[in-house]
Copies of this chain bind each other. A is one copy, B any other.
Amino acid sequence: MKINEIGEFGLIGRIAADFKSLIPQGWEGIGDDCAVIPWNEGKSLVVTTDLLVENVHFLREQITPYQLGYKSLAVNLSDIAAMGAKPVATFLSIGLPSETVEVEWCDAFFEGYRSFGVPLLGGDTTSSPEGIVINITVLGMAENDHIKRRRDARPGDLIAVTGPLGDSAGGLQAILNNIPRDADIKELIKRHHQPRPHLAEGEWLGTREEVHAMMDVSDGVASDLLHILRASGLGAAIRTDAVPTSPLLRKIAGREGWNAAELALTGGEDYVLLLTVDPARINDLQKGFEARFGHPLHVIGVCGSGKPEITYSGTDSHFTGFEHF
């Protein structure tokens, strides 16, 4: 049977079921942004790992080595933020085609990697016959009662995101369509290559009881929200006109004839946080969030009981996200 017949998440489901019996009581494995391992004095360790493969996740001639080092770590830090945790250690494995990658490339890669100030504690380096291969594992720490999971959304919860969506997908589209690089296009492409993981936001949201479920937006809201809905046994309604986009994306979309709302809902790699919030306390949370971070927390929809499906108002399209197979 071909892997794409069962899909990425089908494969993960098979694996998770096989290993369930081996996992100690109180530990949490596959099924959230991070695994959770009890630590000491009311704290837990959270762990995430991500594999990036050249020509699947990035194009070497499009991304600078600094940006690649930055982004490779950013996508992992975003998973730590999504749990309400703080990153404490990273491990990097890198496979390099030594014919085509030079030491100066590596130095710039590590400069980007270092820009978050999170320690690198170990790793592996090897040659790779074809493309560059990067795997990063990050360990984070959180108070047990600050950890946010996908499964904790409740009926009536409002659905919110910590920043605008679609910039990264717009940047990718600009690259793939070879759009001439004026200052606006350059900035949009930079947002694809250097997404900011919402680390401070995630840690702060972890401290707020009214935040129930949380994850990061890596495959696109339309796809990622389904993970929360399936884990929580809920449905959801999204108001597409409430999904935030940046002025830059709207400007370029208008010029290029793109559908900004569709990019925002289905485009991946924005690495903002997606969360569900007790509706009675949303105003307080939004006020506190904006006061602290200087940018708004956007409500885009609501959770309801029902099948894990999303209904969209403001459009009749059925949006889906990105699977790797």
In residues 1-27 of chain A, which contact B (Cβ within 8 Å)? 1-6, 8, 11-12, 14-15, 18-19, 22-24, 27
Give the complex CA separation of A56 and B96 in angstroms: 11
How far does the alpha carbon of A35 sit from the alpha carbon of B122 in the complex, in Å?
6
A139 to chain B, nearest CB (A): 7
Indicate if the CB atoms of B122 and A34 lie closer than 8 Å: yes
The stretch of A97-105, A153-161, A291-299 in contact with B is A97-105
Task: Find out whether the CB atom of B129 lies under 8 angstroms from the CB atom of A51.
Answer: no
Residue of B nearest to A52 (CB): B126
Report A69 CB to chain B, min CB distance, Å: 11
Do the beta carbons of B129 and A130 come within 8 Å of each other?
yes
Q: A1-B104, A35-B89, A106-B11 are in contact. Are A29 and B119 (CB under 8 A)?
A: yes
Query: Are A35 and B121 in contact, with the CB atoms below 8 A?
Result: yes
A47 touches B114 (CB 8 A): no
A1 to B41, CA, bound (A): 49
Chain B residues, Cβ within 8 Å of A2: 98, 102-103
Asked if residues A324 and B3 are in contact (CB atoms below 8 Å), the reply is no
Name the interface size band of chain A: 35 or more
Q: Is the CB of A126 within 8 A of B18?
A: no
Q: Given A18-B114, A51-B135, decide whether A30 and B127 contact each other with a Cβ distance below 8 A.
A: no
A131 at the B interface (CB under 8 A)? yes
Say yes or no: A103 contacts B11, CB within 8 Å.
yes
On whether the beta carbons of A102 and B3 are closer than 8 Å, the reply is yes
Residues of B within 8 A of A37 (CB): 88-89, 121, 139
B18, B49, B54, B324: the one contacting A137 at CB < 8 Å is B49
A94 contacts B by Cβ under 8 Å:
yes
Alpha-carbon distance between A39 and B95 when the two chains are bound, in angstroms: 31
**How many angstroms from the CA of A325 to the CA of B135 in the assembled complex?**
18
* A18 in contact with B91 given A130-B131, A325-B127 (CB within 8 Å): no
Interface contacts beyond A30-B120, A50-B93, A56-B126: sample of 6 additional A-B pairs, CB < 8 Å, sorted by A: A3-B101, A14-B103, A22-B117, A27-B121, A47-B89, A51-B93
Interface pairs (21), CB distance under 8 Å:
A1-B102, A1-B104, A2-B103, A3-B96, A11-B106, A15-B106, A19-B119, A22-B119, A23-B119, A24-B119, A29-B119, A34-B122, A39-B39, A47-B89, A50-B93, A53-B129, A56-B129, A126-B324, A127-B325, A129-B130, A129-B131
